[in-house]
Chains A and B, each alone.
Chain A
Amino acid sequence: MERDVFEADHRAFREVVRDFVTREMAPHMERWEKAGIADREIFAAAAKVGLVGFNVPEEFGGGGVDDFRFNAIVAEELAASDVHGPGFTLHNDVVAPYLLKMANDEQKARWLPPFASGEEIWAIAMTEPGTGSDLKGIATTAVRDGDDWIINGAKTFISNGINSDRVIVVAKTDPAGGSKAFTLFVVERGMDGFTRGRNLDKMGLHAQDTAELNFDNVRVPAANLLGEEGRGFYQLMTNLPEERMSIAVSAVAASRSILDQTIEYAKTRTAFGQPIGSFQNSRFLLAELDTEVDIAQVFVDRCLRALSAKKLTHVEAAKAKWWTTELQQRVVDRCVQLHGGYGYMNEYPVAKAFVNARIQTIYGGTTEIMKEIVGRALGV
């Protein structure tokens, strides 16, 4: 089904992104997966052609483009090629909005230029060993000491955790708790007491560095407080539509890509004297999945249009996130089955697509939390 959400500029951008992903990233995937981390230089290379930092204002060295459809194109092209190592979408879709919306002028001047050029890599640290969906359980603390803050605690599952030069850390600044107890700080590579734990071994996304971070009396100057003291919880909320749409967009793109590959496989692979796709079971299954992925694409495109017009609600984004990522689970699962024994072999893209998809219903807010959000909005 023809998509009507993009215009000429977007289509030209997609060509650039696809070219970069194919030539500069895909050939390195195997090495990155073995190493458990991508080359950090790829951020700067990507920034040069505009894959990273395009939404930073031009005065800070970015592309000055505030249109989420460009973000979506990067997410889609990475997902379609199952290239995942460097957290470009984390940079573009999650970190950039925080800095653009919450950093003061001094901070912007300090942080945005190296961010936009890809010289500095960022991460955001919310999750802790004991705190996932329920953010109010965060135990990392920040205590004021003169002009500084002293941070103590541990974070885990942090994407870009090893490569990152600066990390947005959510910490509790009011021991009394409640939704006004949290503040965001930017912790920098080299600060005393800031150390990285393990680069975590995961089911999939092997080229993505996902790490534990430890904070032992890390002294952070007040100049690195991001946004307002006590407003961290609300600041985290404001950017949710972007984060969730980023995942939804990639879910549909990954589903479409692996489904198309599987349809091709079903046409060429024969069993019992005929292509397996011509058996009714396979044909119907492919018909169902193709229909559902088209439906998902239409819904996501509609959300995308709303988001680029700043009209998408967090409830709509939650719907898109859970439904598309659950669809992706079914798509990759059935595509493995249609590949038979080969689907189980890592040399086939479908095997990797299967494991790489699994986190999608979990990070960025689990399916269950998304349904809570939708359900609560219904008043039930």
Chain B
Amino acid sequence: MSGSEVETELRGAIARLLRDRCAVDTVAALADGPEQWDEGLWGALAEVGVPGLAVGEEHGGGGAGFALAAAVQEELGRRLAPVPTVSLFAVQAALMAAGSDIAERWLPRLASGEVIAAVATGRTANGWGAAEDVHAVRGRDGWSLHGHVPVVADAAAAGLLLVASITDDGDPSLFLTEIDPSTGVHALEALDPTRSLGAVTLDGPAECVTGPFKYDTVLAIAENAALVMLAADMVGVGAEATDLAVEYAKTRHQFGRAIGSFQAISHRAADMFVAVESARALVAAAAGALDEDPGSGETRIAVRLAAAQALDAAVAATQGCVQIHGGMGFTWEHPAHRYLRRAKGAEALIALPDRLREQAVTAVLHSRKEDSHA
């Protein structure tokens, strides 16, 4: 099978699974209820190998790379799946880049879906940085982490956290620490209930994945992976919102004809479609770059441009979906608001598109400068 046939087949399989296990009603019931994520769906996804897609075969994964993982994430976004893949894929990317013994010990358990991991970092204008209120202390029995991280995505599902911290010796380092979501995580009420957010309290042993030498590279790769996966998720969200709007525009009649035959509607739907398609192409390119050279300047640029476009497209498409549905789109029963929430939530979680473009242009100018020195 060619690469694109593999992708088509994989997308089809995931879409079928989600149709059964992650219908609109299921998501709505979970989102409006006390559960933070869909553990049952996670089990079903683990059975077909989703958690290990991007992990190399030598670590017990599927070896399919981030390109295919992104395609799956798009399908998950399309169904608003409340599962922690974005965070898990980011931690896997970090551990593969770190290559340390500790990383290699954890990767198989993350690839099988047995353990779910999430990322706890601080946030700066330039992206991820060390968590501010976390102390990393070296004791007789090894490292321990103490402190608080105010917002961690998917913490409610996670048994393991990748924590960026400055040690008491002043060295930036990445740690893995096991957490118990039932005690160490305080659930936050988020705009988007399909992606849980939690405040995490840390007070326990940790293992150092990488010290200052590879800290910047590994953290950057984790962030790249998270951005690509979130962008892929946004493509799915935007695509489904567009499809919902187009379907409605075909069947809803006003003034004696389908509302989609009015230019005000058809042009807006066309704009939504074009925005989402452009985003899909950029995300595919960024995911490919992540597979080829996850830490390069080129990848950094591709990832940010893709994420910026995908976030913009998702917000525009989900806003358009609400508008085209008219009063119907404003009801709680209709899923339009859930798509809009997922899009706005992603924007808040990762970065505003303008900020991402700012980071990209800084990287472009930086690489130009290096070229002219060469």
Interface, chain A (partner B; CB < 8 A): 279-281, 284
Contact = CB atoms under 8 A, between A and B. Distances in A.
Contacts, number: 9
B262 interface: yes
Contacts of A284: 263-264
Interface of B: 262-264, 267
Contacts of A281: 263-264, 267
A309 B267 CA distance: 47
A281 B265 CA distance: 9
Nearest to B265: A280
Nearest to B264: A280
B212 to A, nearest CB: 38
A293 B263 CA distance: 23
A280 B263 CA distance: 5
Given A280-B264, A284-B263, 6 more contacts: A279-B263, A280-B262, A280-B263, A281-B263, A281-B264, A281-B267
A279 B266 CA distance: 12
B267 to A, nearest CB: 6
A60 B262 CA distance: 63
B373 to A, nearest CB: 29
Nearest to B261: A280
Contacts of B263: 279-281, 284
A377 to B, nearest CB: 24
Contacts of B262: 280
B350 to A, nearest CB: 26
A287 to B, nearest CB: 11
A362 B267 CA distance: 33
Contacts of B267: 281
Contacts of B264: 280-281, 284
A279 B265 CA distance: 12
Contacts of A279: 263
Give me the 7 closest cross-chain CB pairs, A-B, nearest first.
A280-B263, A281-B263, A280-B264, A280-B262, A284-B264, A279-B263, A281-B267
9 contacts: A279-B263, A280-B262, A280-B263, A280-B264, A281-B263, A281-B264, A281-B267, A284-B263, A284-B264
Contacts of A280: 262-264
A73 B262 CA distance: 41
A279 B261 CA distance: 11
A282 to B, nearest CB: 8
A283 to B, nearest CB: 9
A273 to B, nearest CB: 15
A284 B264 CA distance: 8
Q: Which of B262, B263, B264, B267 has the most CB of A within 10 A?
A: B263
A84 B263 CA distance: 38
A281 B267 CA distance: 8
A280 B264 CA distance: 6
A221 B267 CA distance: 66
B253 to A, nearest CB: 16
A279 B262 CA distance: 9
A8 to B, nearest CB: 44
B189 to A, nearest CB: 32
A299 B313 CA distance: 34
B269 to A, nearest CB: 13
B271 to A, nearest CB: 12
B242 to A, nearest CB: 19
Nearest to B262: A280
A281 B268 CA distance: 10
A281 B263 CA distance: 6
B101 to A, nearest CB: 52
A229 to B, nearest CB: 45
A280 B262 CA distance: 7
